[in-house]
Chain A
Amino acid sequence: MDPRRNRDLTMPAGKVLGVVLIALVFAALFNSEAIVRAGEGMEQGTTRDVVLSVGRPLDDVAGTIGFHLPREGLDLAFGQEDKTASGTELEEGSTAILKRRRRQAREEKEEPTFRQPGPGRPLEVLVTGDSEADFLGQRLTDQSPPGLLQVETVARNATGLTNPAFFNWELNAQQEVDARDPDAVVMAIGGNDGFNVESGGNLYGPHDPEWETEFARRVAVVAGVLSGDGERPVYWVPPPTARDPEFNEIYKTQNRAVEKAEAAVPGLRYVDVYSTLGKGKYSDDLKIDGQKVLARQPDGVHFTRDGAVAPVRLILREMARDFPALEKDSGP
């Protein structure tokens, strides 16, 4: 660049710092809700504490002055739906839901039959959840019998059930089923659920027995919304085994919790990937159709595209119990 021509483009570093700081303060004031939400979504630690300790008071002030309005207008313009809410059952409900639904299901004795797929009328399946839903959705599309399933995948990366202040799955589940009205739902979630949960005014960690019960309750709440109280089946896929022993333990707990919720919620089906694949032992590879494939991504949790074949077969097997036409052929 010619230095003479550049002169009209330069500024002293102090002024540049002024521009940057004004921009960040302006954006923070008008975006305080997003800062709090971003903080809520961070892993426990100093960064999260700092972001929330700055963001929350800022959000209170900005909300009082009315600085949320421009952002709300922009959200509307970009078609963004709010994914957080206060006072939902997911946050504040009671564990009685686990018993109540079970009793109801028992009284009804049998569950309703679901609309069966037919020629020209494929089953509309919503595959949703966290990032694990991505490859499962793609593979379900690949492996589904021709013309019988129409799969739509909506992955909400980095979300889970233990942090509704960041992303409220009860609210999101309602929005998803209202918008799509699917015939069946596959829900793959849990990889991001290592947070402490609050229940009855107490805080429990993933290794506390109360955590498992609270998690089961949250599964029941979200599954109830997704299934429309039993109108459609929900195939819930908790995380598989993990390479990291600590995560592995949390995922094991989650699997037990989903099994517990299954007994309570009409339409909820627990897909046990955890103890079925590799007989409950973690391995990077899996033998599929006699061939060894690299089944897991480098993080030791997510399936690879090749590895996703195995859990999808389990999902299709479970689906075939509700939709016998799927039993004839479950693809490659």
Chain B
Amino acid sequence: MRAVSFPTIEFAAFFVVVFILSWAFMPHPRAWRPFILVASYVFYGWVDWRWVLLLIASSVVNTVAARVIARSPSQIARKRALIVAIVFDLGLLCTFKYLGFFVSEVDDFLDSLGLGSPLPLVQIVLPIGISFFTFQAISYVVDVYRGETRAASLMDVAILQAFFPHLVAGPIVRANELLPQLRTPRDPRQVLAGPGLFLVAGGLVKKTVVADELARRVVDPVYSDPSAHSGGEILLAFYAFAAQIYCDFSGYTDMAIGIALLLGFQLPQNFNRPYMALSLQEFWRRWHMTLSRWLRDYLYIPLGGNRDGPRRTYRNLMITMLLGGLWHGASFTFVIWGGIHGGALSVERWAREHYPRFRMPTWAAWFVTFNVVCVAWVFFRAPNLDIAFQVLGGLGLSGPSPLVTLPMVFLVLAAIGVQALPSGWWRQGEAWIVARPVAAQGVAFGLVILIADAAVGQQGVAPFIYFQF
């Protein structure tokens, strides 16, 4: 897993080679496309080359299905091709992600009926990024079916799915966002280096200095045994995980978007200061934005959205968020996480419809939203329901709190507070950096790498949380 992670020596060497060759091939699309595809497959297959075969199979099936959809005059044939592609994509996801859980549950059920445990329990290796690239594949064929994008060549579809910056943990890119960029050579004189370098450096700091530190010193010890910790420590871990998962996941996507920018490509934004949201609805427009819009466009709206009255709307919200939870993994903790969000979104909608004039003070709306999100995070982080309830039940306990230290409290406050800074400041910072001499920029970026490596120490960078999904 280390080799496909951005903050490693292997990736640094890989990126330098790819950067040089990518810009060298860029004026020649016929050479560039196979090059970037092979580079992406090398990146993905570094750990296990068999995963590349899976990716190729997904690209082939979805390309063929999209072509049938685009060319067939028969609506029935188009629909059948769409269904075949979706069944294939979901089948792939279910086999690798949910089969083990399903077999185990059925086996337990049969055992409880006195029929013994007849099914062999299966342990399947989950290919990294499978949830992301299957969702991208589904969005591609559905968009072709809806006429929102044209059917592309196998090469283009393969690059769309495998482009290494977003392959492992998103952002979930739609065809009409990346395919047009693949068709036009990028201008090597106009590389968006300001945001690119800023995002890579920022993502590195978020991951190593904030996320991994909070995980190691507060979150992991508390969640491994809440009963051994005081209310003060549990309260810190309650908020620290919110900071950790934001810095871990947004740190990864910042690096992904930054790396793509340095190669000349723009990926969609995935986070927009989510903890500044004043409602759950707003939170989902700011958190994992590419998953939210995927769920909206390919699940919530096809289910009926808010078109068929309040009851159907609440049902659709609940189904969407529960499936969003299950997308993370086959576990009741994720179901409850999705259920809390689905329930809270429904309550918000109900309140808006029944009390349209009611306005909560801004600070109260922020406080309620943020804390509902944090309660849901407890279920997301806890390995099982028992631990989750121990964490929530332990918030009021007294006792000594050696884990509550000034640096950890500062990191939590900084990770959340930094989102309140005006976004214009970041842009000014990017412009300022780009205006410095190349050597000064290089030294500054080198210093960030040095600090990041010192922060993680000899234990190395922990795997990104979203790699497991």
Q: Which residues of A contact B (CB under 8 A)?
A: 1, 6-27, 30-31, 34-35, 37-39, 41, 47, 51, 70-71, 74-75, 77-78, 80, 83-84, 134, 137-138, 141, 150-153, 156-158, 167, 284-285, 287, 291-294, 296-300, 305
Evaluate whether A8 and B434 lie within 8 angstroms (CB atoms) in the complex, with A19-B193, A25-B446, A35-B9 already known: yes
What residues on B are CB-neighbors of A9 within 8 Å? 192-195, 427, 430-431, 434
B177 on interface, CB distance cutoff 8 Å? no
A37 in complex: contacting residue of B189, B190, B441, B458, CB < 8 Å: B458
Q: Contact check, B23 vs A13: say whether CB atoms are below 8 A apart.
A: yes
Closest CB in chain A relative to B302 CB, distance in Å: 31
Instruction: With CB as the reference atom, state the residue of chain A lying closest to B46.
Output: A47
Distance in angstroms between the alpha carbons of A292 and B122 in the assembled complex: 12
Instruction: With CB as the reference atom, state the residue of chain B lying closest to A151.
Output: B225
A74 in complex: contacting residue of B435, B444, B454, B460, CB < 8 Å: B454
Using an 8 Å CB-CB cutoff, how does the interface string of B433-465 with A read, 1 for contact, 0 for none? 011001101111111111101110111100000
Q: Contact check, A78 vs B454: say whether CB atoms are below 8 A apart.
A: yes
Q: Contact check, B16 vs A21: say whether CB atoms are below 8 A apart.
A: yes
B53 on interface, CB distance cutoff 8 Å? no
Distance in angstroms between the alpha carbons of A10 and B197 in the assembled complex: 11
B19 on interface, CB distance cutoff 8 Å? yes
User: Which of B103-111, B135-143, B289-297, B365-373 makes up part of the contact surface?
Assistant: B103-111
B348 on interface, CB distance cutoff 8 Å? no
Closest CB in chain A relative to B457 CB, distance in Å: 4
Instruction: With CB as the reference atom, state the residue of chain B lying closest to A305.
Output: B383
Distance in angstroms between the alpha carbons of A55 and B307 in the assembled complex: 63
User: Which of B80-88, B123-131, B351-359 makes up part of the contact surface?
Assistant: B123-131
B113 on interface, CB distance cutoff 8 Å? no
Chain B facing A: main interface SS: helix
Instruction: With CB as the reference atom, state the residue of chain B lying closest to A150.
Output: B228
Distance in angstroms between the alpha carbons of A38 and B108 in the assembled complex: 44
What residues on B are CB-neighbors of A12 within 8 Å? 188-191
Q: Contact check, B228 vs A16: say whether CB atoms are below 8 A apart.
A: no
Q: Contact check, A292 vs B194: say whether CB atoms are below 8 A apart.
A: no
Q: Contact check, B443 vs A13: say whether CB atoms are below 8 A apart.
A: no
What residues on B are CB-neighbors of A297 within 8 Å? 123
Q: Most chain-A CB neighbours within 10 Å: which of B104, B193, B197, B451?
A: B193
What residues on A are CB-neighbors of B445 within 8 Å? 19-20, 22-23, 26
Evaluate whether A23 and B458 lie within 8 angstroms (CB atoms) in the complex, with A17-B20, A298-B124 already known: no
Given contacts A16-B196, A298-B126, 4 further A-B contacts (CB under 8 A): A12-B190, A22-B443, A31-B449, A31-B450
Evaluate whether A21 and B442 lie within 8 angstroms (CB atoms) in the complex, with A38-B9, A151-B228 already known: yes
A10 in complex: contacting residue of B191, B225, B383, CB < 8 Å: B191
Q: Contact check, B446 vs A24: say whether CB atoms are below 8 A apart.
A: yes
Evaluate whether A19 and B450 lie within 8 angstroms (CB atoms) in the complex, with A10-B194, A24-B12, A298-B123 already known: no
Closest CB in chain A relative to B388 CB, distance in Å: 14
A8 in complex: contacting residue of B117, B228, B431, B447, CB < 8 Å: B431
B148 on interface, CB distance cutoff 8 Å? no
Distance in angstroms between the alpha carbons of A17 and B23 in the assembled complex: 10
What residues on A are CB-neighbors of B176 within 8 Å? none
Q: Contact check, A51 vs B9: say whether CB atoms are below 8 A apart.
A: yes
What residues on A are CB-neighbors of B450 within 8 Å? 26-27, 30-31, 70-71, 74
Q: Contact check, A291 vs B117: say whether CB atoms are below 8 A apart.
A: yes
Q: Contact check, B446 vs A13: say whether CB atoms are below 8 A apart.
A: no
Closest CB in chain A relative to B359 CB, distance in Å: 34
Instruction: With CB as the reference atom, state the residue of chain B lying closest to A15.
Output: B438
Closest CB in chain A relative to B16 CB, distance in Å: 6
B100 on interface, CB distance cutoff 8 Å? yes
What residues on A are CB-neighbors of B125 within 8 Å? 298-299
Closest CB in chain B relative to A180 CB, distance in Å: 12
Can you name 12 A-B pairs with beta carbons within 8 Å? A11-B434, A13-B191, A19-B441, A23-B441, A26-B445, A26-B447, A27-B446, A27-B449, A30-B446, A78-B213, A80-B454, A287-B117
B224 on interface, CB distance cutoff 8 Å? yes
B243 on interface, CB distance cutoff 8 Å? no
> What are the 7 closest A-B residue pairs judged by CB atoms, nearest first?
A22-B442, A26-B446, A9-B194, A74-B454, A23-B445, A27-B449, A292-B117
Q: Contact check, A11 vs B191: say whether CB atoms are below 8 A apart.
A: yes
B266 on interface, CB distance cutoff 8 Å? yes
Distance in angstroms between the alpha carbons of A11 and B117 in the assembled complex: 63
Closest CB in chain B relative to A291 CB, distance in Å: 6
Closest CB in chain A relative to B117 CB, distance in Å: 4
What residues on B are CB-neighbors of A291 within 8 Å? 108, 111, 117
Q: Most chain-A CB neighbours within 10 Å: which of B197, B224, B448?
A: B224
Q: Contact check, A18 vs B442: say whether CB atoms are below 8 A apart.
A: yes
Q: Contact check, A24 vs B438: say whether CB atoms are below 8 A apart.
A: no
What residues on B are CB-neighbors of A21 within 8 Å? 16, 442
Closest CB in chain B relative to A212 CB, distance in Å: 28
